[in-house]
Chains A and B, each alone.
Chain A
Amino acid sequence: MSFDVEEVRKNFPILAQQINGRPLVYLDNAATTQKPRAVIEAIRGYYEMDNSNVHRGVHALSVRATEAYEGARRTVQRFIHAAHPEEIVFVRGTTEAINLVAQSYGRSRLSAGDEILISAMEHHSNIVPWQILCEQTGASLRVAPINDAGELLIDEYEKLLGPRTKLVSIGYVSNALGTVNPIREIIASAHRHGIPVLVDGAQAVAHMSVDVNALDCDFFAFSGHKMFGPTGIGVLYAKRALLEHMPPYQGGGDMISSVSFEKTTYNTLPYRFEAGTPDVAGVVGLGAAVQYLQGLGLERISAYEADLLGYATESLAAIPQVRLIGTARHKASVVSFIVEGVHAHDVGTVLDCEGIAVRSGHHCAQPVMQRFGLPATARASLACYNTRSEIDALAAGVRKVVEVFG
């Protein structure tokens, strides 16, 4: 089953441009991915033909907009294999999804002495919402350690699970290190103690097929823009049995069934968690992104990217001045590295001059950087439209860095 990357690239108009006189090599996909024409056209088509408010009017456009919006919900449901469409809550992104769980589920259930367990490789968005919740409730945050390769110490993690643990929240794939966590094992261990698990799937959804039913996770959060969809739209999946007992996160229109000054009755799921006019165009774009990904096939994407990641790892490791940060056995899409004696920002600027876009900095994961004793790394992160020749350009760019600062 071949994967024709040149055909894939033709679907992404932005890739066909030059930066500083050289072809753009976009390797910052863990920050955000580019958008295929199908997504851009879906958003444009929505605004040109169907734009209206949803769940309101009886007129034709409102009906069409509502059908598009709810159709995308079912598309997303099938994409992650959720049992019910009402388990799909549209939010602004992974960050908002986690904040929703913290403030709705967490705040109503946790109290002083309780614990929330995360890992040492989390993105700030899977740390700070829990710190806020801890301040509000008197609960405390526990952190499962990682080894020098950037792998979760699963034994240490299991030791931290106990009667005080009320929630586990762990990333599927680390944005800073590329580590793929043994998420089934993590979930199963927590469930043996009766503890629910939130999976931060932001870095997983564009790279591997996700089955929330098989994983049996209780919450799953992801962002549209990291899987070829628009920015500003994301998804919280939550098991219906949990959502049913969660208080609203925000109040407003659409999340109610009736309002009087004496008493307000909240709407059914999932609308109870979607206050205000939603980002309908964003949802339509997300639906188109899911269909685009399904058209390519997640299994084929995973296989193609695994090969490309191996090639990128070899190519960079062959440069003596390069040190790879994050060398877990199971990785996806991310190569984080430093060039000895050169700050990551200088690496980023030299590569930019060569038309190569990488991220340099702490990747919104400062505790990870502290764990490795680094202020910052450079990070090349792949998508299924990247090619071996782009990896060659990256390696040549890194050699240029060595030359400039040699």
Chain B
Amino acid sequence: MAGLDDLYQELIVDHYKRPRNRRALPDADRTAEGNNPLCGDRVSVYVKLENDRVKDIAFEGAGCAISTASASLMTEAMRGRTLPEAKALFEEFHRLVTSERTDGEPAARLGKLAAFAGVRKYPARVKCAILAWHTLDAALAGGRDVVSTE
């Protein structure tokens, strides 16, 4: 049985109510916009790079608890990462929320992000969790198109 507490962990509710790094970043090197037409959620992700490292990262937009907390925790987890590290973390997070595996512990390097493990039991909500991440991925890839979950 899917438990509510698996999904809406304290950490997720906290980051929904008090999102970190939700602001504009006027001197961003990379930006992208993502949208989930299903629920109307929109997110913009801004990245400031220095020597191919994420020096600063921020987001704007309003959405559900899962998408907002995911964006917030993503910005915390990404700061200081190299571009290859950022890509690897994106892929690890993607696996966390989409894979069927039940072999216990998510990779240690996910840290706090492991709180999103419960999302995989809610297929209708996976897109909420992944929206900011796809948007960041597009920003880092230098694309200009709006990312859509559909």
Docked-complex contact A405 and B13, CB < 8 angstroms: yes
Residue of B nearest to A361 (CB): B39
Q: Which of B63-71, B94-102, B109-117, B132-140 contacts A (4 or more CB under 8 A)?
A: B63-71
| B3 sits at the interface (CB 8 A) | yes
B43 to chain A, nearest CB (A): 12
A346 and B65 contact, Cβ closer than 8 Å, known pairs A21-B1, A353-B2: yes
- Render B20-61 as a binary contact track against A, CB cut-off 8 A, 1 for contact: 000000000000000000111100000000000000000000
| B128 sits at the interface (CB 8 A) | yes
Q: How many residues of B contact A (CB 8 A)?
A: 22
Residues of B within 8 A of A362 (CB): 39-40
| A342 sits at the interface (CB 8 A) | yes
Residues of B within 8 A of A20 (CB): 1-2
Residues of B within 8 A of A81 (CB): none
Docked-complex contact B66 and A346, CB < 8 angstroms: yes
Q: Say which residue of B1, B4, B38, B39 sits within 8 Å of A350 (CB atoms).
A: B4
A353 and B125 contact, Cβ closer than 8 Å, known pairs A345-B39, A361-B39, A405-B17: no
- Render A344-365 as a binary contact track against B, CB cut-off 8 A, 1 for contact: 1110011001000000111000
* Interface of A toward B, CB cutoff 8 Å: 20-21, 341-346, 349-350, 353, 360-362, 366, 369, 375-376, 400, 404-405
20 more CB-based (< 8 A) A-B contacts, given A345-B128, A361-B39, A405-B16? A342-B65, A343-B64, A343-B65, A344-B39, A345-B66, A346-B65, A349-B7, A349-B124, A349-B125, A350-B8, A353-B2, A353-B3, A362-B40, A366-B40, A375-B62, A376-B39, A404-B4, A405-B8, A405-B13, A405-B65
* Interface of B toward A, CB cutoff 8 Å: 1-4, 7-8, 13, 16-17, 38-41, 62-66, 122, 124-125, 128
